[in-house]
Amino acid sequence: MGMTMTQKILAAHAGLEKVVPGQLISARLDIVLGNDITTPVAVNEFKKAGFEGVFDKDKIAIVLDHFVPNKDIKAAEQSKQCRGFACDHCISHFYDVGKMGIEHALLPEQGVVTAGDCIIGADSHTCTYGAVGAFSTGVGSTDMAAGMATGMAWFKVPSAIEFRLSGQLPKECSGKDVILTIIGMIGVDGALYKSMEFTGEGVKTLSMDDRLCICNMAIEAGAKNGIFPVDEVTKAYMEGRCERTPVIFEADPDAEYEKTIQIDLSKIVPVVACPHLPENTKPAAELSDIKIDQVVIGSCTNGRMEDMEAAYETLKGKKVADGVRCIIIPGTMQILRDCVERGYVTAFIDAGAIVSTPTCGPCLGGYMGILAAGERCIATTNRNFVGRMGHVDSEVYLASPATAAASALTGYITAP
Query: Is there a common fold for 5-263 and 272-410?
Result: yes
Please check whether the domain covering 272-410 is classified as CATH 3.50.50.60: no
Quote the pLDDT of residue 55: 97
Whether 403 has a pLDDT exceeding 90, the answer reads yes
Query: Is-above-0.85 flag for pTM?
Result: yes
DSSP string, 232-254: HHHHHHHTTT-SS--------TT
C-alpha 153/C-alpha 272 separation (Å) is 36
Give the contacts of 155 (CB within 8 A, at least 6 positions apart). 10, 24, 25, 27, 137
Grouping H, G, I as helix, E, B as strand and the rest as coil, residue 95 is: strand
Q: What mean pLDDT is predicted for residues 140-144?
A: 95
Q: Do 295 and 377 form a contact (C-beta atoms < 8 A)?
A: yes
Domain boundaries, the chain: 5-263, 272-410
Local confidence band at 375 (pLDDT 50, 70, 90 cut-offs): very high
The pLDDT tens digits of the residues spanning 25-53 come to: 999 999 999 999 999 999 999 999 999 99
Quote the pLDDT of residue 274: 98
DSSP letter (8 states) at residue 323: T
Grouping H, G, I as helix, E, B as strand and the rest as coil, residue 292 is: coil
Q: Do 277 and 30 form a contact (C-beta atoms < 8 A)?
A: no
Is 356 exposed, middle or buried, given 0-12, 13-18 or 19+ CB atoms closer than 10 A?
A: middle
Instruction: Describe the crossing of helices 333-341 and 103-110 by its angle, rounded to 10 degrees.
Output: 80
The pLDDT tens digits of the residues spanning 245-256 come to: 999 999 999 999
Nearest to 184 by CA among 220, 224, 227: 220
- Which residue type occupies 164? R
Query: What pairs with residue 255 in β-bridges?
Result: 2
C-alpha 294/C-alpha 388 separation (Å) is 14
Neighbours of 121 (CB within 10 A): 29
C-alpha 20/C-alpha 1 separation (Å) is 9
Neighbours of 142 (CB within 10 A): 16
Mean predicted lDDT score pLDDT of the chain:
97
The pLDDT tens digits of the residues spanning 225-241 come to: 999 999 999 999 999 99
Fold of the 5-263 domain:
Aconitase; domain 3 (3.30.499)
Quote the pLDDT of residue 311: 98
Local confidence band at 1 (pLDDT 50, 70, 90 cut-offs): confident
Whether the upstream peptide bond of residue 69 has omega within 30° of 0, thus cis, is yes
Give the contacts of 338 (CB within 8 A, at least 6 positions apart). 305, 308, 330, 344
Give the contacts of 135 (CB within 8 A, at least 6 positions apart). 6, 9, 10, 13, 117, 118, 119, 225, 227
